[in-house]
Structure 1
Amino acid sequence: MMGPFLCLWTATFFVMSQECPEPCTCVEKKYGRQLAECAYRDLQGVPTGLPSNVTTLTLSANKITSLQQSSFLEVTQVQSLWLAHNEICAIEEGTFARLLHLKNIDLSNNQLADFPWGDLYNLSTLQLLKMNNNQLVKLPWEAFHTLKDLRSLWINDNKFTTIAQGTFDAMSSLSQLQIYNNPFNCTCRLLWLKSWAENTLISIPKRDSISCAAPESLRGVPLGRIPDLQCTPPSVQLTCHPNLDNTVLYDGLTLMLHCSVTGSPQPEIRWEIQTPIQGTEINGPNVERDKNDLSTGGSKHSAERFLVYGNGTLVIPHLSKHEEGTYTCLATNEVGTRKVSVNVALANSENPAEDLLRNNLATSKLGAKHCNKEAQANSSQAGEKLVIIYRVPAGMGSSDGGTLLESRLWACMFCLVVFLYC
């Protein structure tokens, strides 16, 4: 009576053994699960021919150097993927994106300098992620935003110099976080991590090994022991010249916009210019010159439409219809960004405010007559837009339809506050 059953069992075992690649050992588990054991086999790549019902795939301690999109197409039901102690230095984008059932992945002790972070977006069931002992440098702040079930994250012993605020916020199930032995740059950008680590209930081992590699004055100091840094977001004040009513302006009007900023660390300034023809961005000064020489309007640089100096001043050497538009000064440091804008317009009518309204600019009540606008660090608005209108009296327009201010102009300036949301 045992003969038929023995034959059936032998046939089943033979089929199962045929489905398992020769370098690996496949073991049937309960409930249809299957383990594919391929560790310590000197493999240089993921073997093909794996059973489709594999839920645990062990590829640790091999000589695998890279992973491709096709590496795991045969095992899309896999729940645990062990890849530690290989030589992996490259992972193609999309390699893990189809492994929707993945709960555990171990990529520790490899040579990864980069990772396709977007692949984690689909791995919403992930519970364990080990990426420690690699060469990873950049960690996008949104990398873990879909991993609400993740319980343990190991990113220690990498090359991370900073971690963006909010990186761990979405992982509501996280109970263990290992981030020690990274060369952190302990500036204002990382100060949030000190406070967060002191107040979180998440287990963070080896806190004294979460230390600073820079700046030099803090080298070797544990993050939790660094002194409070003086960190303040930028505040911005924008002034312009000429900025008074009834000012006589001559041929080739020069308009100067000065962006004065404060903050700690010292903010960097950049200008964004949007004219009807094109948008321009100027990062830092494009003129090397003594700021005391600005009143000349940059005569040596008259061919340039926009001149930006090291003290934050932007000069428009020849204001014309081509230079109408929005001029935005942005100040950025490690704590935040603030910006203030001015709209510069040339009007030919007797009522330039009506011209501006006809151009569908959202305006509010009249403000001061001086071009002086400030965006404070604690302002509820990220910045405000100041509108400056230079009126060209009737009969005094330029010969080419207003492209150059070739005749004498009377400045008529209206400051209209327009809220500009970031």
Structure 2
Amino acid sequence: MSHKNPRTGNSQSSTIVIKLGTSSICDEETNLPLLSNLSLMVETVVKLRSLGNRVVLVTSGAIGVGLRRLNKDKKPKKLSAIQALAAVGQGRLMRMYDDLFSQLNQPIAQILLTRHDLADRTQYLNAVNTFSELLSMGVVPIVNENDTISVSEIRFGDNDTLSAITAGMVNADYLFLMTDVDCLYTDNPRTNPDVKPVEVVEDVGALKDQVTVSSPGSSLGTGGMVTKLIAADLATAAGVTTIITRGSTPKNIISIIANLSNVDDQNLVSYKNPSLIPLHTRFLAKNNPMMDKKWWILHGLHTGGTVFIDEGAVKAITKAGQKSSLFAAGIVKCEGNFVTHQAVKLIFEKFHVNENGEEIPELITVGKGLVNYSSTEISRIKGCKSNEIEKKLGYADSECVIHRDNLVVILKDPEY
């Protein structure tokens, strides 16, 4: 199957990441594995591979399988108990995948990740290189969060987010988020008969004002449609076309990708033959995706603290074409305990006067970056000029607090 690659417009194979949720793997009532769903997914992955594509599978289900193995009915709330169930279920889940893929002579590999694994640049690049080698060997990597050792501060929180991180790491062309509905709707289709499908999304931020996505995931899963929108936002920022479609009909993936060759333009805005394509929601990849390092800073790193900056600093680091580094002179205060080279969030505190004459603060997120000084050092040098840093600290490791190469600006409107 030859089709236009969404990144290049050329007719060539693609790298595809498929995220399979717990509800597509385990029965919500009995926790028994849904072998028919899994078999169809395995057949689909192998078919995609035979057509020349590289495929990564991001899976949930370890906790559900663990519940079944220990004959428990409900997922516990205690973190250590959940981690124990994941430890029981993870091996059995991989054995199930290996049994199914082995029937079609397809080798697989297990990759367990936590956000902590990606916080170090070297470890991040090692993971990227491992993915690259596995894919070049014709192996299907099967990715899951390492629930056995993750703690609340460093967990991805749901495998939708993990799949988006993975898609960015492997420079994927497509991310498929398989769920229990055909696509994203304007409201919950189970309770509102007047809902309408959302077929194409160009701006995830604008979409949040148009649809209702407050319903949670299944009793076994951690996600819902909210986490899928977050994942779509992350993946499209990395240049990955993201698609939501029904998990019980995985062969739809093949039809969707095949018909993407029939789009009117390289931006995948419309299809020539929409009647041939199963219902789904497609999130268009950004035309100017973030470079790998900045995407890693924004999405791969745990945020260690917050640095509050003044209006002058906001204008300096957001001005188009002249984006500056962040200097100590523009820093108002910092919160949290963080060390040098850790990631921090940048916040501008804008004040509004209400009808009672009271000043009400509005916190505006400006960006995220890697600091050259610790929280203790920044508290001492905030508001200072660069040539005053050595006098304050007794040394000056850098003239700026965050260099522009290590700074990701996410504030779209410089007028706030």
Structure in which a larger fraction of residues adopt strand: 1
Higher relative contact order (CA 8 A, sep 6+): 2
Structure of larger gyration radius: 1
Q: Which structure has the highest helix share of the two?
A: 2
Q: TM-score range by the shorter chain?
A: under 0.3
Q: TM-score, normalised by structure 2?
A: 0.20
Give the TM-score, by structure 1 length: 0.20
